[in-house]
Amino acid sequence: MRGKNFGFVAGCNSGTDALILSLKAAGVNRGDEVITVSHTAIPTVAAIVSAGAIPVFVDIDPATWVMDVRNVKAAVTPKTKAIVPVHLYGNMVDVHAIKKILRELNRGDIKIVEDCAQAQGSTLQNLQAGTIGDFGAFSFYPSKNIGALGDAGAVFTADESAHKKILSYRNYGQKDRYHADVIGGLNSRLDEIQAAVLSVKLKHLHTWIAQKSRLMDAYRTALADTPLTFQTVTQGCSPAWNLCVVKLDENFSRDDFQARLLDAGLQTLVHYPLPNHLQPAFKNFCRTPLPVTESLANQILSLPFSHALDESTLNKITAIIKSVAAQLK
């Protein structure tokens, strides 16, 4: 399918598959290196490893909580085949800055696969997430800004030949029926029922994004005088918030704070408590210390956040948080 303001879209089974299909179409092979962050959902890294590549972790920016592009240059080696910037919680990585670094290094061969699972509708300098790099990998898991009733995903690319490869890879490696043209094909079709649900929900995306934006502003205002800080928005980004994540001041224990909130009737989550480079499956891939990632993972918590949240419920939530935070002092 051809998109309106960008190249081509291929539906697939999940965001994880969208990443794997993109990496395959980018020509990533066994032993190639793919630069990404450790502070992301496990599937980002699982997809890189499933594509046969070695994840090379770079640290995040202490304010924006996404890939610190200043770390990219030092991570590039002759084996680097792709970079996966992750647009986390709705905020975006400065993909333009990564492209500039690759131009300066004369490494136009390195492909950029934007992980947009949490950034449906976010823009950077008015360009949609997923349309700035070579590939945009989207998830429509039910918790995303547009969620299907089950798993679903999509890959955007402006490169027609890469798009055709993705169509083959998602269909057992077949170019057309009974003709396999690529090795390593999957069964990763987008289920018709999920596609029908998504096409209805798509009409509401902008309304839901606007509501989440109002809720985020209300959280930021209400919690301004607490030991909680919010993610700084990357310059030029207009985020479509997927999650509302706050960081507790390092003088306090996040686990204690979370337990006190729960006692007061408020459940919170942590996205994500153990960074990928410390996960048993991936720890052997860790090459450099990632102090910003580790300290953030210890202090963050995710507040209730949905387009369906109303203002009076949000006020009750912030009242609980403020009273629990006051006890910490």
Residues that bind ligand PLP (CB under 6 A): 14-16, 40-41, 43-44, 86, 115, 117-118, 139, 141, 151, 153
Give the helix ranges, DSSP H, for the chain.
15-25, 42-50, 72-75, 95-104, 160-169, 192-202, 205-222, 254-263, 291-299, 311-328
What's the min distance (Å) between Cβ of 18 and ligand PLP? 7
Q: Output the six-digit token pair for 222.
A: 């209400």
Q: Output the six-digit token pair for 210.
A: 């606007």
What's the min distance (Å) between Cβ of 58 and ligand PLP? 16
Q: Write the burial class of residue 50 (CB in 10 Å: 0-12 exposed, 13-18 middle, 19+ buried).
A: middle
Strands 153-157 and 237-238: unpaired
What's the min distance (Å) between Cβ of 177 and ligand PLP? 27
Confirm if 232 and 63 have CB atoms less than 8 A apart. Answer: yes
Q: Which is nearer to ligand PLP, 59 or 115 (CB)?
A: 115
Q: Output the six-digit token pair for 314.
A: 């949000």
What's the min distance (Å) between Cβ of 121 and ligand PLP? 15
What's the min distance (Å) between Cβ of 318 and ligand PLP? 25
What's the min distance (Å) between Cβ of 277 and ligand PLP? 16
Nearest one of 84, 78, 109 to 34, comparing CA atoms: 84
Q: Which is nearer to ligand PLP, 15 or 227 (CB)?
A: 15
Q: Which is nearer to ligand PLP, 219 or 272 (CB)?
A: 272
Q: Which is nearer to ligand PLP, 44 or 171 (CB)?
A: 44
Q: Write the burial class of residue 250 (CB in 10 Å: 0-12 exposed, 13-18 middle, 19+ buried).
A: exposed
What's the min distance (Å) between Cβ of 48 and ligand PLP? 11
Q: Which is nearer to ligand PLP, 15 or 239 (CB)?
A: 15
Q: Which is nearer to ligand PLP, 162 or 190 (CB)?
A: 190
Q: How far is CA 309 from the centre of its chain?
A: 22
Which strand (E) or helix (H) includes residue 225? Answer: none
**CA–CA dist 223, 231 (Å, integer):** 13
Q: Which is nearer to ligand PLP, 148 or 266 (CB)?
A: 148
